Homo-oligomer: A and B are copies of this chain.
């Protein structure tokens, strides 16, 4: 009893210290994406011809240039031929539609994307709808959005939410009946993300800049997926202990990439969390490459 009386208070303090230091498990998108690219390389090598990816880039936006560079490196790692179609900021809708029509018909281009954002004079809706649905590796064509909402397996789902789903599945995070809050209601993340989660029987709330009380929703969420581009939007006091946090934000603050989530604080109470960079970004690129391989495999049939 003497020993127990002596050890007990210290042991309690140790447990308390451990609790304070306990950080969330990292959802390592970079590592998982690398593994996916290795698998894709084997699939690319099994194809009768080199798979091809083209990227239409308008203007000289440094963020766009960086994203295109990431895609190029991933394509080279997989063995996908990469082609950049560059246009000046002054490009017209018709010029883009002409190039899209050519890419739609080229047998050596199995998938292509139109790098967003596009300048204001371009009719974005017309441009994205002109992409051959079977080469639409970004998953931005209305037909692919529709197949995604209907949970049709042939869908080329929007790449970012597809990457998030793959990551959650990899870490065996069950979604059925989970309370999920998606923050942001964009066409390329928020809305398709919500659809994919609903298709997996999660209870999904979509919040955005018009939401009256964001914290009231996030505090009750088992999973929070934030895609707003507002640095520090998601704070520690807005989430419940043990929540899973997926950060799609990617903003430059003082020359450093940061997400929507106050990572240092939130990781202390979350159970899983994605880092920025190294979380969702590499998964998006990996899904793009997987879509190119899928398109090339389909074309081979």
Contact = CB atoms under 8 A, between A and B. Distances in A.
A212 B203 contact: yes
Q: Is the interface of A mostly helix, strand, loop or mixed?
A: mixed
A210 B201 CA distance: 6
B203 A203 contact: no
Contacts of A207: 203
Contacts of A150: 125, 142, 145, 187
Contacts of A177: 210-212
Given A147-B142, A150-B125, A195-B191, A205 B205 contact: yes
Nearest to A212: B177
A194 interface: yes
Given A185-B198, A195-B191, A198-B185, A152 B142 contact: yes
Interface in A143-200: 143-147, 149-150, 152, 176-177, 179, 185, 187, 190-192, 194-195, 198
Contact of A203 (B143, B201, B211): B211
Most buried by B among A149, A179, A203, A220: A203
Most buried by B among A149, A187, A211: A149
A187 B149 contact: yes
A139 B204 CA distance: 23
A208 interface: yes
A110 interface: no
A240 to B, nearest CB: 14
A40 to B, nearest CB: 26
Interface in A33-64: none
A287 to B, nearest CB: 18
A202 to B, nearest CB: 8
A84 to B, nearest CB: 26
B206 A198 contact: yes
A202 B207 CA distance: 8
Interface of A: 125, 129, 141-147, 149-150, 152, 176-177, 179, 185, 187, 190-192, 194-195, 198, 201-208, 210-212, 216-217, 220
